[in-house]
Amino acid sequence: MRLEYAVLALVFAGALAAAEDIQAGDSTGEMSPYECVRYVGYDPDSFIYVYQRGHGSGWVESARTVAHRKGIIVIPVDSGLLTDGEVKLLQCFFGRYGRENLEFFKAPRVLCPRTGLVSEVYRGGTPPMGRLRVLASRCR
């Protein structure tokens, strides 16, 4: 019985340390993107559509349509106007937020908490709507 408590204490200590890393702005702790997204208060069974004005902003409604058809939730994030919660959300994928970390500002992209997938929407010559469908399917 004591061994079980010791194991639980170690698991809890590891999760607590990773959570403290995220609160401090570093997601390189031991949490997976799925666990991290859930921890910061978002639905980890969703996909995240990152865009900026002029860079994918015209595809937000398309991302919502694709999500609805695939039966998955989409979280649109304007990386040019990040809220504190959205910064924490993106830290689950890209680490510490700051001007030197350009990953936060690349758009448009799809992020999948379930699989850890990070992929650009404009890639490979596929039209954005088709690419959104494929990426949403990979997030389920």
CATH number of 32-138: 3.40.30
74 in Cβ contact with 46 (< 8 Å): yes
- pLDDT tens for each residue of 69-82: 999 999 999 999 99
d(CA 42, CA 114): 12
Q: How many Cα atoms within 13 Å fall on the side-chain side of residue 12?
A: 6
pTM of the model: 0.76
Question: Which stretches of the chain drop beneath a pLDDT of 50?
Answer: 1, 3-25, 27-28
- pLDDT tens for each residue of 25-46: 454 457 999 999 999 999 999 9
pLDDT at 16: 39
